[in-house]
Amino acid sequence: MGVQGSSEPWAGSGRSDLSLRLTACERRPHASAMTSARPVHLLRHGLAAIAAWLLLASPVAAPAVLHPALWAARDADTTIWLFGTVHDLPPGTAWLYPAAAKALAASDTLVLELVAPTPAETAAALADAAPPSDAPPLPARLPAAVAARLPTALAAAGLRPDAFDRADPWLAATALTAARLHAAGYRRDGAPETLLAARARRAGMPVIGLEDQAEQIAMFDSLPHDVQVAMLERTIAGGDRAVAAMAELVAAWGAGDTHALAAIVGRDLPPAMRPALLTDRNDRWAAAIARWMRLPGTRFVAVGAGHLAGPDAVQARLRLRGIATARVRSRVR
């Protein structure tokens, strides 16, 4: 969500800020917090942005020592580690505790939701998802009340008023939230996926993705128009509450509190988005893990924490396939 958006947290959880040529999102010359950021930079915050949008809630102080939850599925010759993540964190946040670091070091392969795409891959995926060239600009495809508030929201985020004219509502919602989180100090650089991938590559470990950029963008692009409009409307109305939402998410994740994460997902993920962003993905990922359990070796699977909490979690989907998981209950020393 993973609910990475909340989606993702988790969802949370496709992403972005688009134009067919990745120029529609060019910043205003005087934009402050993100003046030098490329449009593709916002895209890489996608699931985290969606997650924050979905998880609008009151802030909760983050724990002093972060200890995200870790699980293992094992048989005679296979171990699959399951580690919950958030997709953006303030730089310097300490979260890799000894048991998780040891599990990664003992693995043969690191598996992420998405391996960071190249700018060319992002551009191609966004081009495929763009509205038809003869479609009206985005404001003309929105209810009047939403269209009227969009320019102010874009200006507050340092984005041009026509930044999303050639985009769909989900993309505008994602980029607006990403801009707010970036301004508040959240970055992918210090997030688990980034640092886990760096460690794995230094060790010569393969890094693979459960999804690719095109699949994630298609996931959002396939949402019904009215659902996308509701996303954008809530994003505009929420203002800086996305930052408070992310604080709540990081607090639950850092405490390893799966009950709190499940409550967040259940409360804030709209039913219309639940299949595409959560349950369908969990089913696919569990099927992949079940295949890996038939092969010898050790894999470290890191996905948005919301995917590993609640009745629809990946672990629940694995149980339906006869695969048990056990939480690693080590303590930070």
Q: For the segment 19-76, what is each residue's pLDDT rounded down to a tens digit?
A: 222 333 333 333 333 333 334 445 444 444 444 334 333 333 444 579 999 999 999 9
Q: CA 315 to CA 126: how far, in whole Å?
A: 32
Q: For the segment 120-157, what is each residue's pLDDT rounded down to a tens digit?
A: 988 888 888 899 999 999 999 999 999 999 999 999 99
pLDDT score, position 77 = 97
The strand ranges marked E within 87-195 are: 109-114
Read off φ and ψ for residue 132, nearest 5 degrees: -55, 150
Question: Higher-confidence residue: 94 or 267?
Answer: 94
Cα distances (angstroms) measured from residue 294 to each of 84, 290, 299: 23, 7, 12
Q: For the segment 180-206, what is each residue's pLDDT rounded down to a tens digit?
A: 999 999 998 889 999 999 999 999 999
Residues 88, 45: contact at Cβ < 8 Å?
Answer: yes
Read off the pLDDT band of 212 (50, 70, 90).
Answer: very high
The H or E element spanning position 177 is helix 169-183
Residue entry with tokens 């048991």: 99
Q: CA 47 to CA 216: how far, in whole Å?
A: 9
Residues 129, 24: contact at Cβ < 8 Å?
Answer: no
Task: Give the mean pLDDT of 115-121.
Answer: 90
